[in-house]
Amino acid sequence: MPHGTFLRFIFPSLAAMILFIALPIISIAIQSLYVEHEQVLIVTENCGPFGCTPSTTIDQQATQALRDAEPLGRFNGLGTYTNRSHLAFAEVSAAWAASDGIGDFLGRLMNLPFYKALAFTLSYTAIVTPLVLILGLMIALAVNALPKMVKGPTIFFTLLPMIVTPLIASLILFWMIDARGIIGASLQNLTGDPNLSLKASPTLTWITLFVYGVWHSAPFAFIVFYAGLQTVSEETLEAAMIDGASRWQRVRHVTLPHLMPLVIFITLIQLMDNFRVFEPIVGFSAEANATSLSWIIFDDLRNEAGALFGSAAATSVLTIIGVAILLTPVVIRTWRDFNRKRV
Amino acid sequence: MTIFRTLLATSALAASAGAVWAEGHGCGIESGRINILANDFPALRAVVDRAETCATGGVEFSSNLTTEHKDIQVAALSANPAEYTAAIVANASILPLMNEGLIRPLDDLVAEHGQNLSPTQLITINGQVMAVAFMANAQHLFVREDILAEAGIEIPTTYEQVIEAAAAIEEAGIMDDPFAMNTAVGWNLAEEFVNMYLGLGGEFFEPGTANVAINNETGIQALEMLSQVNAYADPDFLTFDSNATGALWESGELALAVMWGSRGSTILDDEGSTEEVTSNTRLVAAPTVGGGDRPASTLWWDGFTISANISDEDAEATFIALVNGIDPALMEDHNDKAVWLIEGYQPGPAAEGVATTAQMGTAPYPMLPYMGLLHTALGNELAEFMQGTESAEQALADVEAAYTTTAREQGYIQ
């Protein structure tokens, strides 16, 4: 394809990507370098139904003058990135100096909101991604072996967890795992512990969220693998069978290598999705035990005193960097495969 | 709270006068745009519905009642012209609007159209009327008289007695986990700490500055009381919001609960619960704590504000409609939906809790521009202490550090 034609061909999507992806990211990166203006405070008297009290309010005119002078806010450089809500350099080095061993240091680190969220986000990504791949493949192989009659309905029901809106699904499960809900009450019966609560203990909350993540994303892996299975060469499979390969050996040596590009594709998508885990934390009211980077952004934007744009922007940039780091190995591998094929 | 008491006492006298005023008085608006943003609960729905009756002729009326109002109000009122001509706020949610200068002073409108408003309804900040309050709210104690009688205990008036009562109920084998309060991590848990801390006579900030000062004896005492009393709550208590505790109460699983007064009418009505629960439920004052005489609670008002970024014509139309919305005639049908601050209000059984809590001198929720930052920090940093994995000192130190970081970012501390 001549370069000119190619450019004209991709111009619309390129323009949309610049407009809706690149520019917002640049704007966020700039925003993260600024913080709010100094608020000029004055002491006044406030009166209401419960009497008058001396109080502090913001001097609107003086603060507005500051805002008009510098509409973007005060330049703070990387100050927002290094403060306690984010990378917390000062607090981390203080924790390092004060701790007597790596376990103690990690404990102190988990007391900082960003690292606490990062710990859950990384664990979620590391545990849910492989489980989704394995479970998705198992379901795909199982469904592929079903007789034609029941295949259609089975596929439909298997896809349901992905079709249901994540927030609704997590709310429904949240009620089911309640001590009075069907799952919660059954677990109490099974374990014989009337105080067992999936919502109260941090470990059980993490496990619940992981299970939810796998349940929600497995259908996606399943449907991709299932489509891939339709293209596995029958001849190779038959040849393997004649050579005396068992079912497991056929899967291991014929099907899996054939599906490898799909495994990489699903891994990429899942790494990105899981690193941005958010809905289940809200749906399960799990904030006490598990927070994620996306949840911190959400929380900053909903601050009682008004949105903390600089702080939210800094966490967003850190999330983008995190996704980039996670994806690098997978992308490098794909690039090598691509080059090898060309040669 | 003398003003509050006077308001309640003189209410009967003014009742008839108010009703007469309402009947012979059309709203008298010919044109203008009215769009109201408000929280979503029955009392506010009644006010907005009544305001809508003014929308005759050329008046353009719309409203958005949503529990997410706090998160859209600043953006929606920043636009010029503002999306909403009025926002119904409480003493905490008015602050972001004040901080950004998004609501206009109402002195001229009150002088012209507010003859029927009582002076105590006017929220005056720095000498200017910024909001008109029409209802009050507070968290207070709900008790089940039958359960208390069965366990042979009096209605508790202090948190120490609440603990004793809960222990007695558990010991007698009447109920497991008989106590609950709104302790969901986030805003709710922070509000419980604020209540407890003020009940113990604490001050949140160094006077005249935005420097936080809660890591002290009072703060530790407040946290310890919260932890002790929640030992008698269901282990899931860190997920309990107002809806959850209300449902638990209606299902008859609680004997003692600290809940919002505005939940009272929903709990006492004949829907969603049994006769046994509703007939034995009593709403009493919020308990005091640590020998103090001020209940461990905060007083809240709900009131309306008018956007700054709208034309004077729209502002006037909105003000007249909302003054009509809170006309005393409102209470003919909706008396029990709230503790109204409107003249002529006579508290029913559902208002008893808020009224006595107010009369005992409960502190109003602090109206400081940076209080919201502290509230958010409290909501995020107290969970570990409540789960028993962190000391009270460490939790309070974390709150102070989190607050100071955000306060610096927002320009309150240099």
- In angstroms, the CA B195 to CA B202 distance is 10
Which letter does DSSP use for residue B212 in this model? B
Average pLDDT, stretch A73-88?
92
DSSP strand pairing (A51-58 vs B298-306): unpaired
Examine the pLDDT at A72 and tell me if it is beyond 90.
no
Here the tokens at position A51 are 């009497």
pLDDT band at B26 (very low <50, low <70, confident <90, very high): low
Here the tokens at position A103 are 């376990």
Q: Report the residue of B373, B409, B414 to disrupt the A interface, i.e. the one with the largest count of A CBs within 10 Å.
A: B409
CATH code at B320?
3.40.190.10
Work out the mean pLDDT of chain B and round it to a whole number. Answer: 89
Average pLDDT, stretch B145-162?
95
The answer to whether residue B101 sits within a structural domain is yes
Domain that holds residue B113: 11-137+299-351
pLDDT of residue B235: 87
Q: What angle do CA A33, A38, A42 make, to 5 degrees?
A: 165
pLDDT of residue B195: 97
Map residue A211 onto helix, strand or coil. helix
- In angstroms, the CA A58 to CA A44 distance is 10
Q: Tell which B residues from 98 to 117 touch A, by Cβ distance under 8 Å.
A: 98-101
Q: Looking at beta carbons, which residues of chain B come within 8 Å of A310?
A: 409
Amino acid, res. A141 = L
Please, what are the domains in chain A?
38-44+55-77 (no CATH), 78-111 (no CATH), 113-342 (1.10.3720.10)
The answer to whether residue B5 sits within a structural domain is no
Examine the pLDDT at A324 and tell me if it is beyond 90.
yes
Average pLDDT, stretch B351-366?
90
The burial of A330, by beta-carbon neighbours within 10 Å (0-12 exposed, 13-18 middle, 19 or more buried), is given as middle
Q: Looking at beta carbons, which residues of chain B come within 8 Å of A111?
A: 384, 390, 394, 398
Least confident of A14-23, A56-65, B180-189, B294-303: A56-65
Examine the pLDDT at B279 and tell me if it is beyond 50.
yes
pLDDT of residue B2: 42
The answer to whether residue B237 sits within a structural domain is no
Q: Looking at beta carbons, which residues of chain B come within 8 Å of A178?
A: 236
The answer to whether residue B286 sits within a structural domain is no
**Residue written as token pair 């008989």:** B178
Examine the pLDDT at B5 and tell me if it is beyond 70.
no
The minimal CB distance from A85 to the residues B123, B187, B406 is found for B406
Least confident of A70-79, A194-203, B189-198, B299-308: A194-203
Q: Tell which B residues from 299 to 328 touch A, by Cβ distance under 8 Å.
A: 299, 301
pLDDT of residue B13: 38
Nearest to A36 by CA among B402, B73, B99: B99
pLDDT of residue B100: 86
Cβ atoms of B123 and B133 within 8 Å: the answer is: yes
Q: Which residues pair with A53 in a beta bridge?
A: A46
**Contact B125/A at CB under 8 A:** yes
**Angstroms from B150 CA to nearest CA on chain A:** 24
The answer to whether residue B130 sits within a structural domain is yes
The answer to whether residue B239 sits within a structural domain is no
pLDDT band at A23 (very low <50, low <70, confident <90, very high): very high
For B133, the enclosing helix (H) or strand (E) is strand B128-144
Which residue is closest to A306 within chain B, CA to CA? B96
Examine the pLDDT at B15 and tell me if it is beyond 80.
no
pLDDT band at B20 (very low <50, low <70, confident <90, very high): very low
Q: Looking at beta carbons, which residues of chain B come within 8 Å of A77?
A: none
For A53, the enclosing helix (H) or strand (E) is strand A51-58
pLDDT band at A67 (very low <50, low <70, confident <90, very high): confident
pLDDT of residue B144: 96
- In angstroms, the CA B95 to CA B211 distance is 18
The minimal CB distance from B238 to the residues A51, A58, A288 is found for A288
Average pLDDT, stretch B142-164?
95
If one counts the domains in chain B, the total is 1
The answer to whether residue B323 sits within a structural domain is yes
The answer to whether residue B123 sits within a structural domain is yes
